[in-house]
Amino acid sequence: MATEENNNSEMIVTPWEVKGKIDYERLIKEFGTQPLTAQLLSRVEKQTDKLHLQLERKIFFSHRDLDTVLDLYDKGTKFVLYTGRGPSGPVHIGHLVPWMFTLHLQQKFKTRLYFQITDDEKYLVGDDRNLKETERWSYENALDLIALGFKPDDTFIIYDTKDIDLFYDITLEVAKRITYSTARSTFGFQDSTNIGWVYWPAIQAAPCFIHKKLTGENVPALIPAAIDQDPYWRVTRDVAQKLGYYKPAQIHCRFLPGLGAGGKMSASMPETSIFTIDMPDVVKKKIWNAFTGGKGTAAEQRKDGADPGICSIFQYYFYLFEEDLKELAERERKCRGGEMLCGECKKDIVEKLNRFLENHRERREKAKDTLEEYHIKRR
């Protein structure tokens, strides 16, 4: 089943920009990560009873040191999970992809999660955001995380500007060992880059090591995230052992595409993104305008079929909204054969999305009562 975006412009994948047709095989080579092999997947399956949909469908496709983390786990050394969010605006359903998988890992491996909310990053990197705004979005975005079902006992949310005193010393240890030359070549800094941004990668690195400081326990961190965050881990891994920590391990996912013709779902393109706070009529309108693999007329499509491989809607079934592989294959067959037209497929996904979002919104509301229990400084 094709899952690639359809876009011919040059591929750019950085923590701040994802553009063009994404070639995931090429990213594995260029970033120097490892593919998730069948052998590794079967080791994960042994620990988790059944492979998660996102592993089965290769939505998570690459890693660094997952094998090392599993070796240690087999010998009795646990790991912690670490992931995060840059609160630049509302959460879209692409963000939920790695967070849902993180929840699955947390439940299966019974591990702690450190979740960093980088209001400082979004202030430093955006031209037009002030700190009050990023603080507000930190609060809003934390509700989305909690709504997915994380429990406060083993989930620790870090709000950078509030909690920096807990890990400022770790950022210093890291920053001292990364040269400007390495940072510039890894992140593409320019003469015009503000110096807050230049220091900032040390702040995203620090939670990889915070567990030791808080508990005295030295265990590796495993980071589930889309592959755009990988540059941070490259520089962090280079310094980890010099500082007496394990190298942080990663497991990387693909990008849920936007509703246009190619490119990832991105908050900077609201018309092609579904936000968790979108109301049913907004969802309907966005889906109705989405790019599909359909033909110019219904008659043509009935005759020649459509192409789910380039269809943005099909990706939503593939990533999140059709858990049953047989049903998914059936939808693909009907689409290719011209039996099911785009209107029907869109109608189904609007229903599924709105049902999901309605539940999510209810859980988000409830999360307001418990939010403080998740704060890393709650005790």
Q: Nearer to ligand TYM by C-beta: 97 or 249? A: 97
CA distance 93 to 316: 10
Q: Nearer to ligand TYM by C-beta: 94 or 338? A: 94
Q: How far is the CB of 218 from ligand TYM (least distance, A)?
A: 20
CA distance 305 to 261: 19
The binding track of 96-135 with respect to ligand TYM, each residue x by CB under 6 A or -, is -xx-----------------x-x--x--------------
Q: How far is the CB of 312 from ligand TYM (least distance, A)?
A: 12
Q: How far is the CB of 336 from ligand TYM (least distance, A)?
A: 25
Among 225, 313, 328, 345, interactor with ligand TYM by CB under 6 A: 225
Q: State how beta strands 60-64 and 249-253 pair.
A: antiparallel
* R_g of the chain, CA atoms, integer Å: 21
User: What is the largest distance, in Å, between two alpha-carbon atoms of the chain?
Assistant: 67
Residue nearest to ligand TYM (CB): 86
Q: Nearer to ligand TYM by C-beta: 113 or 328? A: 113
Q: Does 204 engage in binding with ligand TYM (CB under 6 A)?
A: yes
Q: Nearer to ligand TYM by C-beta: 52 or 264? A: 264
CA distance 111 to 102: 10
The binding track of 161-200 with respect to ligand TYM, each residue x by CB under 6 A or -, is ----------------------------------------
Among 81, 100, 124, 223, interactor with ligand TYM by CB under 6 A: 223
Classified as helix, coil or strand, 251 is strand
Among 6, 15, 106, 174, interactor with ligand TYM by CB under 6 A: 15
- The answer to whether 139 and 93 have CB atoms below 8 angstroms apart is no
The number of beta carbons lying within 10 Å of the beta carbon of residue 10 is: 8
CA distance 131 to 122: 9
Among 101, 159, 246, 255, interactor with ligand TYM by CB under 6 A: 255
Q: Which two tokens stand for residue 240?
A: 């980890």
Q: Which two tokens stand for residue 107?
A: 């439940």
Among 264, 331, 346, 364, interactor with ligand TYM by CB under 6 A: 264
Q: How far is the CB of 223 from ligand TYM (least distance, A)?
A: 5
168-199 exposure pattern, b = at least 16 Cβ within 10 A, e = fewer: eebbebbbeebeeeebeebbebeeeeeeebbb
CA distance 375 to 364: 16
Q: Nearer to ligand TYM by C-beta: 73 or 255? A: 255
Q: Does 86 engage in binding with ligand TYM (CB under 6 A)?
A: yes
Q: Nearer to ligand TYM by C-beta: 113 or 345? A: 113
Q: Which of residues 226-245 bind ligand TYM (CB under 6 A)?
A: 226, 228-229
Provide the CB-side half-sphere exposure for 211 (13 A, CA).
23
Q: Does 85 engage in binding with ligand TYM (CB under 6 A)?
A: yes
Q: Tell which residue, 371, 378, 360, 377, has the closest CA to residue 142.
A: 371
The binding track of 136-155 with respect to ligand TYM, each residue x by CB under 6 A or -, is --------------------
SS (H, E, C) 137-166: HHHHHHHHHHHCCCCHHHEEEEEHHHHHHH
The contact set with ligand TYM (CB under 6 A) reads: 15, 82-86, 94-95, 97-98, 116, 118, 121, 204, 223, 225-226, 228-229, 253, 255-256, 264-265
